[in-house]
Amino acid sequence: MSPIAFRAATPADVAALHPLVERAYRGETAKAGWTHEADLLFDERTSAEELAGLIADPERVILLAHDADDLVGCVQVARAGEDRAYLGMLTVEPTLQASGLGRRLLAAAEAEAVARFGARRMEMTVIHRRAELIAWYSRRGYAPTGETRPFPVDPPRPELAFVVLEKGL
Protein backbone atom coordinates (compact mmCIF):
# COMPACT_ATOMS: atom_id res chain seq x y z
CA MET A 1 0.00 0.00 0.00
CA SER A 2 1.36 3.42 -0.96
CA PRO A 3 0.86 6.51 1.24
CA ILE A 4 -2.80 7.05 2.12
CA ALA A 5 -4.36 10.42 1.33
CA PHE A 6 -7.43 11.62 3.24
CA ARG A 7 -9.94 14.18 1.99
CA ALA A 8 -13.57 15.14 2.45
CA ALA A 9 -16.06 13.50 0.10
CA THR A 10 -17.88 15.56 -2.52
CA PRO A 11 -21.05 14.72 -4.45
CA ALA A 12 -18.88 13.41 -7.29
CA ASP A 13 -17.58 10.65 -4.97
CA VAL A 14 -20.93 8.95 -4.36
CA ALA A 15 -20.59 6.61 -7.37
CA ALA A 16 -17.38 5.09 -5.94
CA LEU A 17 -18.29 5.44 -2.26
CA HIS A 18 -21.58 3.54 -2.36
CA PRO A 19 -20.15 0.23 -3.68
CA LEU A 20 -17.22 0.43 -1.23
CA VAL A 21 -19.58 0.67 1.75
CA GLU A 22 -21.75 -2.17 0.45
CA ARG A 23 -18.71 -4.42 -0.21
CA ALA A 24 -17.42 -3.83 3.31
CA TYR A 25 -20.67 -4.34 5.23
CA ARG A 26 -22.93 -6.70 3.29
CA GLY A 27 -22.90 -9.79 1.11
CA GLU A 28 -20.22 -12.33 0.33
CA THR A 29 -17.58 -9.72 -0.54
CA ALA A 30 -17.74 -8.39 3.01
CA LYS A 31 -16.72 -11.79 4.37
CA ALA A 32 -13.20 -11.24 3.02
CA GLY A 33 -12.76 -8.92 6.02
CA TRP A 34 -13.54 -9.32 9.70
CA THR A 35 -15.71 -6.26 10.42
CA HIS A 36 -18.72 -7.10 8.25
CA GLU A 37 -22.38 -7.42 9.20
CA ALA A 38 -23.10 -9.93 6.42
CA ASP A 39 -24.18 -12.67 8.85
CA LEU A 40 -26.57 -10.35 10.72
CA LEU A 41 -28.10 -8.13 8.03
CA PHE A 42 -29.00 -8.84 4.44
CA ASP A 43 -30.39 -5.57 3.14
CA GLU A 44 -28.49 -2.66 1.63
CA ARG A 45 -26.25 -0.84 4.18
CA THR A 46 -26.98 2.55 2.65
CA SER A 47 -28.09 4.10 -0.62
CA ALA A 48 -26.45 6.50 -3.01
CA GLU A 49 -29.15 9.02 -2.11
CA GLU A 50 -28.44 8.71 1.62
CA LEU A 51 -24.71 9.16 1.02
CA ALA A 52 -25.37 12.25 -1.12
CA GLY A 53 -27.48 13.67 1.72
CA LEU A 54 -24.73 13.02 4.27
CA ILE A 55 -22.15 14.71 2.05
CA ALA A 56 -24.41 17.74 1.59
CA ASP A 57 -25.03 18.15 5.34
CA PRO A 58 -22.76 20.89 6.78
CA GLU A 59 -22.93 19.18 10.20
CA ARG A 60 -21.22 16.06 8.79
CA VAL A 61 -18.18 15.06 6.79
CA ILE A 62 -17.27 11.79 5.16
CA LEU A 63 -13.52 11.40 4.99
CA LEU A 64 -12.23 9.29 2.13
CA ALA A 65 -8.99 7.31 2.18
CA HIS A 66 -7.23 6.90 -1.16
CA ASP A 67 -4.28 4.66 -1.96
CA ALA A 68 -3.02 6.30 -5.16
CA ASP A 69 -6.20 6.48 -7.27
CA ASP A 70 -8.07 3.74 -5.40
CA LEU A 71 -10.74 4.52 -2.80
CA VAL A 72 -9.89 2.13 0.03
CA GLY A 73 -11.84 3.45 3.02
CA CYS A 74 -14.07 6.09 4.54
CA VAL A 75 -15.45 7.30 7.84
CA GLN A 76 -18.25 9.70 8.75
CA VAL A 77 -17.93 12.35 11.45
CA ALA A 78 -20.95 14.38 12.56
CA ARG A 79 -21.55 17.13 15.08
CA ALA A 80 -23.47 15.54 17.95
CA GLY A 81 -23.64 18.42 20.40
CA GLU A 82 -21.69 21.41 21.62
CA ASP A 83 -18.50 19.48 22.38
CA ARG A 84 -19.30 16.03 21.00
CA ALA A 85 -18.97 14.35 17.62
CA TYR A 86 -20.36 11.07 16.30
CA LEU A 87 -18.24 8.55 14.43
CA GLY A 88 -19.95 6.27 11.96
CA MET A 89 -19.57 4.18 8.84
CA LEU A 90 -15.91 3.36 9.40
CA THR A 91 -15.26 1.39 6.23
CA VAL A 92 -12.17 -0.40 4.99
CA GLU A 93 -11.95 -2.31 1.71
CA PRO A 94 -12.45 -5.92 2.90
CA THR A 95 -9.19 -7.24 1.44
CA LEU A 96 -7.27 -4.48 3.28
CA GLN A 97 -8.76 -5.07 6.72
CA ALA A 98 -6.11 -5.85 9.34
CA SER A 99 -3.63 -3.65 7.40
CA GLY A 100 -3.75 -0.73 9.86
CA LEU A 101 -5.97 1.38 7.62
CA GLY A 102 -8.87 1.27 10.11
CA ARG A 103 -6.64 2.73 12.84
CA ARG A 104 -5.51 5.47 10.47
CA LEU A 105 -9.10 6.29 9.48
CA LEU A 106 -10.09 6.40 13.15
CA ALA A 107 -7.23 8.79 13.96
CA ALA A 108 -8.14 10.99 10.97
CA ALA A 109 -11.79 11.05 12.11
CA GLU A 110 -10.84 12.03 15.65
CA ALA A 111 -8.58 14.83 14.40
CA GLU A 112 -11.34 16.03 12.05
CA ALA A 113 -13.88 16.05 14.90
CA VAL A 114 -11.63 18.34 16.93
CA ALA A 115 -10.69 20.62 14.02
CA ARG A 116 -14.09 20.91 12.34
CA PHE A 117 -16.51 20.68 15.26
CA GLY A 118 -14.42 21.55 18.31
CA ALA A 119 -15.30 18.16 19.77
CA ARG A 120 -13.84 17.03 23.07
CA ARG A 121 -15.60 13.65 23.01
CA MET A 122 -16.35 11.16 20.25
CA GLU A 123 -19.37 8.87 20.43
CA MET A 124 -20.21 5.87 18.31
CA THR A 125 -22.60 2.92 18.24
CA VAL A 126 -21.82 -0.73 17.55
CA ILE A 127 -24.24 -3.66 17.30
CA HIS A 128 -23.95 -5.30 20.73
CA ARG A 129 -23.39 -8.76 19.20
CA ARG A 130 -20.16 -7.55 17.54
CA ALA A 131 -17.89 -8.36 20.51
CA GLU A 132 -14.69 -8.45 18.42
CA LEU A 133 -15.41 -5.00 16.99
CA ILE A 134 -16.26 -3.55 20.40
CA ALA A 135 -12.97 -4.99 21.67
CA TRP A 136 -11.10 -3.35 18.75
CA TYR A 137 -12.57 0.05 19.62
CA SER A 138 -11.88 -0.53 23.33
CA ARG A 139 -8.20 -1.03 22.54
CA ARG A 140 -8.32 2.41 20.90
CA GLY A 141 -9.74 4.14 23.97
CA TYR A 142 -13.50 3.81 23.43
CA ALA A 143 -15.52 2.64 26.43
CA PRO A 144 -19.16 1.61 26.78
CA THR A 145 -21.31 4.35 28.31
CA GLY A 146 -23.96 1.90 29.53
CA GLU A 147 -26.46 3.34 27.06
CA THR A 148 -28.09 1.20 24.38
CA ARG A 149 -30.11 2.34 21.38
CA PRO A 150 -32.53 0.45 19.15
CA PHE A 151 -31.34 -0.64 15.72
CA PRO A 152 -33.16 1.53 13.15
CA VAL A 153 -35.28 -1.04 11.30
CA ASP A 154 -38.97 -1.63 10.92
CA PRO A 155 -40.10 -3.98 12.31
CA PRO A 156 -37.78 -3.61 15.32
CA ARG A 157 -35.08 -6.25 15.86
CA PRO A 158 -34.11 -6.13 19.55
CA GLU A 159 -31.35 -8.69 18.98
CA LEU A 160 -29.49 -5.98 17.04
CA ALA A 161 -29.44 -3.21 19.63
CA PHE A 162 -26.57 -0.73 19.59
CA VAL A 163 -24.20 -0.14 22.48
CA VAL A 164 -22.87 3.40 22.77
CA LEU A 165 -19.11 3.83 23.07
CA GLU A 166 -17.34 7.07 23.89
CA LYS A 167 -13.80 8.45 24.01
CA GLY A 168 -12.31 11.73 25.18
CA LEU A 169 -10.41 13.54 22.44
User: What crossing angle do the helices spanning 14-25 and 48-56 adopt, rounded to 10°?
Assistant: 120
Long-range Cβ pairs for the range 43-51 (8 Å, 24+): 45/21, 46/18, 46/21, 46/22, 46/89, 47/18, 48/14, 48/15, 48/18, 51/9, 51/14, 51/17, 51/18, 51/21
Per-residue tens of pLDDT for the chain, all 169 residues: 568 999 999 999 999 998 888 887 754 544 444 454 444 444 555 678 999 999 999 999 999 999 988 999 999 999 999 999 999 999 898 888 888 999 999 999 999 999 999 999 999 999 888 888 899 999 999 999 999 998 777 777 777 788 999 999 9
The DSSP element (H or E) to which 91 belongs, if any, is strand 84-92
What pTM did the predictor assign? 0.85
Classify 154 as helix, strand or coil.
coil
